[in-house]
Amino acid sequence: MLRGLVGGYGVARWTKKRPLGGAVLAVAGAAAAQPWRQRAGGKAAGALTVAYVAAFAGSHPPARKVGAWPAVFGVAGAVALASRAVADRQA
């Protein structure tokens, strides 16, 4: 999941192909949802998936103020903490 947000942005930035970055983001998000579902159940996995997508969208406004990479790392860290709190607690 953390790799998806950071990797998706990195791919989009370095290739200059935003759809390719979006594909990396989507594949990594789908891959993260499987262990979330196994560890914490469907509702928790759904909530974490929503948080993942919201983090992607939510990274854009702060990027204007703090820069793109800090914004991406910040939201990725927030989702990682949420994942740890929800899914890893259930394991």
Residue 47: which domain range?
2-90
In a 3-state reduction of DSSP, which class is residue 76?
A: helix
Q: What per-residue confidence (pLDDT) applies to 88?
A: 72
What is the percent of the chain with per-residue pLDDT over 70, rounded to a whole number?
A: 95
**pLDDT for residue 42:** 93
Q: How confident is the model at residue 3 (pLDDT cuts 50, 70, 90)?
A: confident
Query: Considering the entire predicted model, what is its pTM?
Result: 0.84
Question: What secondary structure letter does DSSP report for 57?
Answer: H
Count how many residues are written for the chain: 91
Cβ neighbours for 14, distance < 8 A, ≥ 6 positions apart: none
CA distances from 37 to 2, 30, 34, 73, 86 (A): 17, 11, 5, 24, 11
State pLDDT tens for residues 29-73. 999 999 999 999 999 999 999 999 999 999 999 999 999 999 999
What's the number of domains the chain is made of?
A: 1
